[in-house]
Amino acid sequence: AVQAEPVLVAGLIEVCRATIADNTDHLCALDRAIGDGDHGTNMRRGCEAVSAEGESLSSLPFPEAVEKIGLTLVMNVGGAAGPLYGTLLMEIGRELRKSEEKADFSQVLKQAIDAVARRGRAHAGDKTLLDVLYPVHAALAKRSPLGDIARKAERSADRTAAMKAMRGRAAYLGDRSIGHVDPGASSCALLTTAICRYLGE
């Protein structure tokens, strides 16, 4: 596993970067409907900053690499998504480092998602990326196959359309946010699907 880590980190960075690059316009369009239209470009900027650090990241132990990716996102992504995705990855890295070998990834992910919720003062059902992250955690905790986790992420993102936004810019729209998929939930589902597909290869 130790030798596979640099390849794993580089591969994950690249699939995430490519997925966001392919979906930048789509994510911006979702954000134009209920926000300020920049979610795709925010995410792309973050992924490009992480890719630029790819070499140095790949030489780090896995937990440190994940933590550093989170920090890079916080520093390079303007807007709400940077600090939120950044917190997610920094916390995953920190928890993995603390728990070392005996890490149960689903517990690590739960701690990190809770940190994102605290950071955004958001809860499940508020129409944010948390509405994908919590179901993904639940699927992981049940040891669902990768394909099922990805499908659950996509379905969960679709379900945010029925929700009224309680946090972030979309919350200013109140009831008018209903009927639109949340951009952060959509990027989270796209990334989850890309990661699951990569890990399944």
Rule CB under 6 A: choose which of 69, 81, 189, 195 binds ligand ADP: 81
Rule CB under 6 A: choose which of 32, 97, 159, 169 binds ligand ADP: 169
- Residue 93 binds ligand ADP (CB under 6 A): no
Is residue 81 within 8 Å of residue 187, measured between CB atoms?
yes
Rule CB under 5 A: choose which of 36, 55, 104, 148 binds Mg ion: 36
Torsion of the alpha carbons at 82, 86, 88 and 91, rounded to the nearest 10:
-160
Contact positions with Mg ion (CB under 5 A) in 66-95 = 79
CB of 157 to ligand ADP, least distance (A): 10
CB of 38 to Mg ion, least distance (A): 4
CB of 123 to ligand ADP, least distance (A): 9
Is residue 183 within 8 Å of residue 27, measured between CB atoms?
yes
DSSP sequence for 63-129: HHHHHHHHHHHHHH--STHHHHHHHHHHHHHHHHHHHGGG--HHHHHHHHHHHHHHHHT--TTSSST
* Residues at the contact surface with Mg ion, assessed by CB under 5 A: 31, 35-36, 38-39, 79
